[in-house]
């Protein structure tokens, strides 16, 4: 199958299925439980697109998925993948301090937001919450993130890098990834409740491009999409804590999808890229 045909099929299937879910959410109303369930289902639409292409090509699905990165990998890449979201979080807090932005224990803000009592010392509960994000990130969140990663950093990256190279592939995938999320931002206010417009979509596009660079680097060096799914899933697990750590109302300025997060991501990515680039971009060792 020609590359252009493969890309068009991938985009058509993943976008149409995702937009059907978005339409369901918009027309039936959104509550937290329903959104969480449907958002998890939505994450598997890129996987559905990959399977569709494999079936059209007459390939065995499992073998095809292995070819796009469903493989074992070295333990060091798991540890690296797990650490990245917390490095982004920690450096984001440091940048907030430098910028003199107000910081709070996110547990206190979350309890105020949802009208819940704090059953123990907020600092202890914060430590327990961080441990919980590790467990959640490594399990259910990674499983859901795999549904996306086998598409974005699996099929798309493997196919595009042949003709565009690494950096241009990262940008193209980041743009497509952001547009795939765009209806959630505009129609529901996902990530940007104060910017359900081009501003919110544009900021998320920048976030997606930089995150895509992280995730692509992990995929190429480990030879597997699973480390990418671990970073993706764990980052999602940390979103709530990140969001309520910096006491600024405008989400464009803070974490996990604002300027603070973007600066933190860029800084850590540059260091990581220089460290992992030794020995070449493609690894799998």
pLDDT in tens, 69-102: 999 999 999 999 999 999 999 999 999 999 999 9
C-beta of residue 233 within 8 angstroms of C-beta of residue 145: yes
- Does the global pTM surpass 0.75? yes
In a domain, 164, yes or no: yes
Three-class DSSP category at 76: helix
Total domains present in the chain: 1
| 13 alpha carbon, distance to own chain's centre | 20
Cα torsion for 199, 229, 113, 123, to the nearest 10°?
Answer: -130
- Which candidate, 6, 11, 263, 226, places its Cα nearest to that of 137? 226
- How do residues 233-264 score in pLDDT, each as one tens digit? 999 999 999 999 999 999 999 999 999 999 99
In a domain, 56, yes or no: no
Range of the domain at 170: 72-276
In a domain, 15, yes or no: no
CB half-sphere exposure, 280, CA atoms < 13 A = 7
- How do residues 131-141 score in pLDDT, each as one tens digit? 999 999 999 99
């Amino acid at each position: 199958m020609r590359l252009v045909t493969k890309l068009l099929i991938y985009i058509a299937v993943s976008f149409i299925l995702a937009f059907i879910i978005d339409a369901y959410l918009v027309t039936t109303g959104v509550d937290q439980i329903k959104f969480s369930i449907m958002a998890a289902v939505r994450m598997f639409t890129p996987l559905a697109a990959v399977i569709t292409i494999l079936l059209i090509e007459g390939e065995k699905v499992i073998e095809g998925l292995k070819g796009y990165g469903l493989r074992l990998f070295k333990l060091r890449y798991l540890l690296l993948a797990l650490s990245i979201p917390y490095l982004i979080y920690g450096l984001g807090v440091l940048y907030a301090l430098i910028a003199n932005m107000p910081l709070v224990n996110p547990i206190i803000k979350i309890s105020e937001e949802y009208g819940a009592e704090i059953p123990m010392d907020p600092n202890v509960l914060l430590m327990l919450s961080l441990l919980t994000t590790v467990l959640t990130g490594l399990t259910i969140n990674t499983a859901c993130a795999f549904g996306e990663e086998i598409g974005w950093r699996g099929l798309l990256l493997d196919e595009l890098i042949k003709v565009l190279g690494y950096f241009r592939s990262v940008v193209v995938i980041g743009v497509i990834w952001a547009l795939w999320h765009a209806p959630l931002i505009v129609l529901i206010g996902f990530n940007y409740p104060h910017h359900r417009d081009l501003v919110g979509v544009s900021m998320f596009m920048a976030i997606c491009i930089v995150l895509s660079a992280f995730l692509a680097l992990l995929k190429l060096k480990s030879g597997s999409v699973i480390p990418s799914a671990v970073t993706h899933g764990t980052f999602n697990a940390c979103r709530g804590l990140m969001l309520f750590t910096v006491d600024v109302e405008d989400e464009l300025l803070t974490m996990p999808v604002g300027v603070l997060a973007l600066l933190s991501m860029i800084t850590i990515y540059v260091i990581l890229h220089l460290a992992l680039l030794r020995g070449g971009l493609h690894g799998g060792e």
